[in-house]
Amino acid sequence: MNTTMEAITEVEETLSELRQTFKSGRTRSVAWRKNQVSALLQLIHDQEDEIFKALYEDLGKHPVEVYRDEIGIVKKTINYTLSNLEKWVAPKKSRLPLLLFPTSGEVLPEPLGVVLIFASWNFPIALGLDPVIGAISAGNTVVLKPSEQAPACSSFLANTIPQYMDSKAVRVIEGGAEISELLLQQKWDKIFFTGSPQVGRIVMSAAAKNLTPVTLELGGKCPTILDSFSNPSDLKVAIKRIVGGKWGPCNGQACIGVDYILIEEKLASTLIELLKKTVKRFYSDSPKDSKCIARVINRGHFERLRNLLKDPLVAASIVHGGSLDEENLFIEPTILLDPPLDAAIMTEEIFGPLLPIITLKSIQESIEFINSRPKPLAIYAFTKDEEFRQRILLETSSGSVIFNDVLIQFICDALPFGGVGQSGFGRLAYNLDYLGLLLLFLGLKR
C-alpha cells in the first residue's frame, strides 16, 4: 500500500469497521475468542510448508529453527490459551474492608477495543501472531502491521489470515514506515510495538496524543558475564550455550541474543580458543555453506554490520572470522577482542553475528560496566558464586537475569517477558505469560 489518498481511506475504513465489530459485542464472547484462536491453529497446521518457505526466503532459516522459534512457539501459545481462557476471563472476587460488610466487590476483565500491533522482522511469524493471539483472546479487534523487511512472511500473513480468521475483526495491513506513520495518526485503544528503541520513541509520542496505552518490546545490548570455573567441563558447557545462543537463533539477529561477553583478562585466550572450536563444531569449517545458520535479513542491515567492522581499531580486534559475502548476505561468526568501548560496535545493539569480548581485571567489575550503559533486555551470567549472583540481581537492572544459560527465558511459560528502561516496558504474551497478557490487554473494572 502507498500513502496516497487511497491508502488513507483504506486505513480509516479498516479502523471504522473494526470499531463497529468491537461495538457489536461479538468479540466479547468466549466462544468467538476460542474459535478465532483455533482458526489460527488451523492456519499454522495447514500452512506449515508455506511458513518454512517464507522464512527461508526472508532469512535463510533452517526448518528446525523455524519450528523451534516460530511455529512451535505459536502453537504452544494457542494451546495454552485454549486451556486457560475461561479461567482468565472469569470475574475475580475482591476482599473488601469489614467496614463495608455486606457489600461485595469483583474485578471484571474487560477488552480495550481496537489494538494495533507492529511486528519486527527477525521472528516475523511468532512476533506477529503471538500478540494477535493475546489481543483476540482478550476480546479485542486487531490490526497487524508485519515488518516490510521480511516481505515473504508479511505477504504470507496478509494472504492467509483473512482465509482463516474473522476479517471484520482481524486485519493485516502491509507496508513500511510511511504506512506505519499513517497508522499512528489514528486513534487506537492499545498499541503493541516490537522493534527498535528509535522507532519505539516515535510510537510512544504518537500514542501520547490520544493517551493510548503502549507496550514497547525493544532491544539493546545483552551482556554475558563469564566467571571462572574450577571445573573445566563447566566452562565447556557455558561456551556451548553461548555459541548456540549467539549464532543459533537467526544468526545473532535476536533481541535477547548475546551481544557481548565480559570476562577476566587472564581467561580471554582460553575463551577464544574454546569459542573457535565450538563454532567449528556447530557450524563446520565453512559456516557459509551450512544450512543451519540464518542469513542477514537484507542489504541495509548487511551494510550496517559491515560499517560496525570498518573502524580500523575494531577491524584490528577481530580474532576469528570477519569474512563477508555480500551476494549471499552472509557474515561469518566473528569474534573480537577488546574493540574500543566508544566504537559503534560497543555503543549500538549489534543484532548480527559479531561477538565482542571485553576483558576486565576482575569479574566483579562487570556490574559497574553494565550499569554504565542503558538497561538491557537480558543479562546472562555464568557463575557458581552465590554472592556474585546476589550482587548481579540486586545491583543491576534489566528485563530478565538468567544464570548459567542464555535465551531460555523466551520459552518459560510462567515468567513474564519484556524490558525495562531503554529495552522497553510492558510484558509480552509470546512466552505465554498470560497473567501479564490479561493486564496488558484488558482494562480492569471494579
Q: Which positions are annotated as active-site residues?
A: 217, 255
Q: Which CB, 216 or 392, lies closer to ligand NAD?
A: 216
User: Which residue blocks in 1-103 are alpha helix, DSSP H?
Assistant: 5-24, 30-46, 48-59, 63-66, 72-89
User: Is 46 a residue that touches ligand NAD (CB under 6 A)?
Assistant: no
Helix (H), strand (E) counts: the chain: 17, 18
Residues 156-175 that bind ligand NAD (CB under 6 A): none
Binding map of ligand NAD across residues 359-398, x = CB under 6 A, - = no contact? ------------------x---------------------
User: Is 194 a residue that touches ligand NAD (CB under 6 A)?
Assistant: yes
Q: Which CB, 111 or 424, lies closer to ligand NAD?
A: 424
β pairing state of 330-331 and 324-325: antiparallel
User: Is 190 a residue that touches ligand NAD (CB under 6 A)?
Assistant: no
Write down the least CB distance from residue 31 to ligand NAD, Å.
31
User: Which residue blocks in 90-196 are alpha helix, DSSP H?
Assistant: 126-137, 151-164, 177-184
User: Is 350 a residue that touches ligand NAD (CB under 6 A)?
Assistant: no
User: Is 255 a residue that touches ligand NAD (CB under 6 A)?
Assistant: yes
Binding map of ligand NAD across residues 100-119, x = CB under 6 A, - = no contact? ------------------xx
297 contacts 149 by C-beta, under 8 angstroms? yes
Q: Which CB, 183 or 336, lies closer to ligand NAD?
A: 183
Question: What's the rounded Cα separation, in Å, for the pair 230 and 224?
Answer: 19
Question: What's the rounded Cα separation, in Å, for the pair 143 and 240?
Answer: 40
Class of residue 205 by CB neighbours under 10 A (exposed 0-12, middle 13-18, buried 19+): exposed
Q: Which CB, 138 or 144, lies closer to ligand NAD?
A: 144
Write down the least CB distance from residue 301 to ligand NAD, Å.
8
User: Is 424 a residue that touches ligand NAD (CB under 6 A)?
Assistant: yes
356 upstream amide cis, omega within 30 of 0? no
User: Is 298 a residue that touches ligand NAD (CB under 6 A)?
Assistant: no
Q: Which CB, 109 or 128, lies closer to ligand NAD?
A: 128
The terminus-to-terminus CA distance of the chain in angstroms comes to: 42
User: Is 196 a residue that touches ligand NAD (CB under 6 A)?
Assistant: yes
Residue reference for cell 478465532 = 36
Lookup: cell for 68: 523451534
Buried b (16+ CB within 10 A) or exposed e, 93-105: eeeeeeeeeeeee
Write down the least CB distance from residue 266 to ligand NAD, Å.
32
Write down the least CB distance from residue 407 to ligand NAD, Å.
12
Number of residue whose CB is nearest ligand NAD = 219
DSSP 8-state assignment for residue 47: T
Question: What's the rounded Cα separation, in Å, for the pair 330 and 295?
Answer: 5
Question: What's the rounded Cα separation, in Å, for the pair 250 and 6?
Answer: 36
Binding segment toward ligand NAD, per CB under 6 A, in 43-51, 193-201, 309-317, 353-361: 193-201
Binding segment toward ligand NAD, per CB under 6 A, in 164-172, 191-199, 237-245, 357-365: 191-199
Cross-sheet strand order for the sheet of 424-425: 170-172, 141-145, 114-118, 190-194, 214-217, 424-425
User: Is 303 a residue that touches ligand NAD (CB under 6 A)?
Assistant: no
Write down the least CB distance from residue 85 to ligand NAD, Å.
23
Question: What's the rounded Cα separation, in Å, for the pair 373 and 304?
Answer: 21
Count, residues near ligand NAD per rule CB under 6 A: 30
User: Is 259 a residue that touches ligand NAD (CB under 6 A)?
Assistant: no
Question: What's the rounded Cα separation, in Å, for the pair 172 and 161?
Answer: 8
Give the residue from 159, 134, 124 showing the smallest Cα distance to 36.
Answer: 134
Residues 217-246 that bind ligand NAD (CB under 6 A): 217-219
Q: Which CB, 21 or 431, lies closer to ligand NAD?
A: 431
Angstrom distances, CA of residue 158 to CA of 71, 131, 151, 172: 17, 16, 10, 5
Residues 116-145 that bind ligand NAD (CB under 6 A): 118-122, 127, 145
Q: Which CB, 351 or 441, lies closer to ligand NAD?
A: 351
Binding segment toward ligand NAD, per CB under 6 A, in 3-11, 211-219, 303-311, 379-387: 211-219
DSSP 8-state assignment for residue 192: E
- The residue within the footprint of ligand NAD, chosen from 148, 234, 311, 348 (CB under 6 A), is 148
- Which chain residues interact with ligand NAD by CB under 6 A? 118-122, 127, 145, 147-149, 176-177, 180-181, 184, 194-196, 199, 202, 217-219, 255, 349, 351, 377, 419, 424, 428
